[in-house]
Amino acid sequence: MNAQPFTSFIMLGSMRSGSNLLEMFLNQYDGLTCHGELFHKSFIGVQDCQNYLGIDMEARNENPQRLLDAVSANNPKKITGFRFFQDHDMQVMEAALKNQYCAKIILTRDPVASFVSLQIAMKTQQWLVSDIAHRRNVQIHFDLEEYATYLTYRTTYYDRIAASLARSEQPYFEIDYTQLNDVESINRLAAFIGDRAGRATLNEPIKRQNPGALASKISNIEEVRRALDAPSLSERPPPILTPILESGTDLSRAYFSRNNTLVFGPVPGVPDKGVRKWLEAQNSGALENGFSSHKFAEWKAKNKSPTFFSAVRHPVLRAYNAFMLKVFATTSDSYIAIRQDLENQFGIILPQGKISPEHDRHLLERNGYGVEEHRISFKLFLIFVAANLNNKTKIRQDGKWQLQTEIIRRYRILHPDVIVLKEKNLSAGLKYLSNLLNFSPIYNWTNEPDPAFSFPLSEIYDAEVEALAREAYGQDYLELGYDDLY
């Protein structure tokens, strides 16, 4: 089974993106069951179905979770899922995106191809083809204004998904229509959800509805080519979930004191439990977190002279922690999909199976993964980070390895004067804050230690690691004043 403890999955796609075929493929795996469009506005699961597992449309709409519970209870030994489109109940999508036990599948297709396929289906009223003898071939007039509306609606939907995933830092698996004929891609998807058995072949119970070149399906093809500046109009994987550079203010990350005007803005990837405990002690109680813009405005009205502070870490240390906790490991909170992408796209060779950040190194070494292999893997990760932060990969820019200076910049949108403490001197920095604000000193304070990783950073660190880190994090080195780690 997958290291991710998923109990369900949601296939986030759009009409004519290949979701029917992908559902039929996934249902050929023993451990998975997909139940169709459970939250379509006009039916449940499949067309004309108004009552599914004892839940009717009214009951589903009043309490969507009741239907999901019924689906799970009906298949207790399987990981159950459903297909979701942008015109379904968006509350269901938001709940699934927040649910760490629900695997997220992002199904994409070139928007022009999807639009043409949708227009043909609407014209012929033929939505599935199981026998090519029954296929209806027609051309459509490509309405450019209608396409612009369609594209905006579709892009808004995928952007909403991408933004939510970036905020939650949960793993997801992206697959495109053009990959649906590749059994290995489907095997990787099934393994991500939780069925690692794999299949040599997959039965294809439905046929491609509109084969052939896009140009042959459009009556006003030359007008479309000129308008879209696309001479070939060939179908290609669309860059839907390209790396999202987190923007805004990171308001939801900040911790606010109830009893004083001190605010802590954590930087992802920098240990902060010790800082939060220090802040709780100064606050004499629990901190407030997850402020909305409205709540922040109310807080500012009551606290006229707040003190904002943050903590940063040496870029090499921070990158190594991100690598070990999120990429090297396959534990429940690691990034399984990104790990697979790095193996496929950047050639990183990592140990397989259930791997923890503190995995017994002797077991790893007996399986051929030692210090040298680990050093190479970390260097390749740093090469990936440099490309990722320069928007040269399709993998999202995760907060754990994003530029610290960029995160601090966003905190300064909240408050222009942010005191930045370095982790190496954090104890002295907190004493400085105590003196500045006339707080009572807290004696014997210590920060949380790093985990006892399988391979300590000191064993793999060399001049090339430092150079690669500087390539990725040059701005952090310059603006935060960091020298070489050792």
Residue 349: its pLDDT value, please? 92
Asked if residue 252 and residue 215 are part of one domain, the reply reads no
Note whether 164 and 300 are same-domain residues.
no
**Predicted pLDDT at 243:** 45
355 lies in a domain?
Answer: yes
Catalogue the E-assigned strands of 221-373: 255-256, 262-264, 288-289, 307-312
Does 200 have pLDDT greater than 50?
Answer: yes
Q: Do 311 and 267 contact (CB within 8 A), yes or no? A: yes
* Cα–Cα dist 399/169, whole Å: 8
Q: What pLDDT is recorded for position 192?
A: 85
**Size of the chain in residues:** 486
267 in any annotated domain: yes
Confirm whether 237 is domain-assigned.
Answer: no
Percent of the chain whose pLDDT exceeds 90: 52
- Domain for residue 451, yes or no? yes
Region 428-438: what's the mean pLDDT? 90
Last residue of a domain, one of 187, 203, 228: 228
Judge if 251 and 167 occupy the same domain.
no
Structural domains in the chain (count): 2
pLDDT at residue 246 is higher than 90: no
Q: What pLDDT was estimated at residue 274?
A: 92
User: pLDDT (tens digit, 9 = 90+) per residue, 72-105?
Assistant: 999 999 999 999 999 899 999 999 999 988 999 9
DSSP assigned state of 311: E
Q: Are residues 305 and 190 in the same domain?
A: no
Query: Which CATH number does the domain housing residue 178 bear?
Result: 3.40.50
Q: What pLDDT is attached to residue 313? A: 97
In terms of domains, do 349 and 215 share one? no
Question: Which of 195, 228, 261 delimits the end of a domain?
Answer: 228
Considering the domain architecture, whether residues 402 and 461 belong to the same structural domain is answered as: yes
Q: Are residues 291 and 215 in the same domain?
A: no
Same domain, 484 and 339: yes
- Residue whose pair of structure tokens reads 């070489």 in the numeric block: 484
Q: Are 185 and 277 found together in one domain?
A: no
Model pLDDT, residue 3: 41
Residue 200: CB atoms within 10 Å: 6
Quick one: pLDDT at residue 130? Answer: 52
298 located within any domain: yes
How many other CB atoms are there within 10 angstroms of residue 100's CB atom? Answer: 14
Let me know: does 311 contact 270? Beta carbons within 8 Å: yes
Domain boundary among 193, 228, 263: 228
Asked if residue 340 and residue 224 are part of one domain, the reply reads no
Q: Which domain covers residue 198, as residue numbers?
A: 8-228
Residue range 329-351, pLDDT digits in tens: 999 889 998 999 999 888 899 99
Assess whether 110 and 49 both reside in one domain: yes
Percent of the chain whose pLDDT exceeds 70: 91
Would you place residue 53 in the very low, low, confident or very high pLDDT band (cuts 50, 70, 90)? very high
- Output the pTM of the full model: 0.55
Burial pattern 438-451, b for ≥16 Cβ within 10 A else e, equals ebeeeeebebeeee
pLDDT for 162: 85
pLDDT at 56: 95
129 or 388, greater pLDDT: 388
Same domain, 253 and 162: no
